[in-house]
Amino acid sequence: MTNVNTNSDNLNPLFYPAAHYGSPADVLNAEELSAPEKRIILSSWASDMYAVESCPALREVPGMSHTVQLADILAALRRLDSDNDDDDPPRGGGVPMRLRRPWAAAERQGA
């Protein structure tokens, strides 16, 4: 008899992504995941709670048999952001505006 809780085929990839994906590239290439789902998985892997104490550039994700480099996770997140054509590009900085002083308008009207 198989225990449903230990059978990785029945696990939701979002709840136990390490049971389904072995690398950031696997997450990016997963067609069954939406961009936000991929971002959730990769962001959770990048979390400091998975940092290897003696080597913070590595992440030790529960359920994964090997460590993952933080640089690979961050590169996958950047690629995910650059591949997502649905989002508008970030707005650039504009011309600085001087805020109007309410009392200045009152002074001009009174003069």
- Does 98 fall in a domain? no
Which residue's structure tokens are 């709840």?
15
Nearest residue to 73 via CA among 88, 56, 89, 87: 56
- Does 45 fall in a domain? yes
- Does 11 fall in a domain? yes
In which domain, by residue range, is 77 found?
4-85
Number of domains in the chain: 1
- Does 105 fall in a domain? no
- Does 97 fall in a domain? no
- Does 80 fall in a domain? yes
Q: What is the pLDDT of residues 8-65, one digit of tens each?
A: 455 555 666 777 888 999 999 999 999 999 999 999 999 888 899 999 999 998 888 8
Contact 86, 38 (CB under 8 A): no
Which pTM was predicted? 0.62
- Does 63 fall in a domain? yes
Nearest residue to 76 via CA among 110, 111, 35: 35
- Does 106 fall in a domain? no
CB neighbourhood size of 2 (10 A): 8
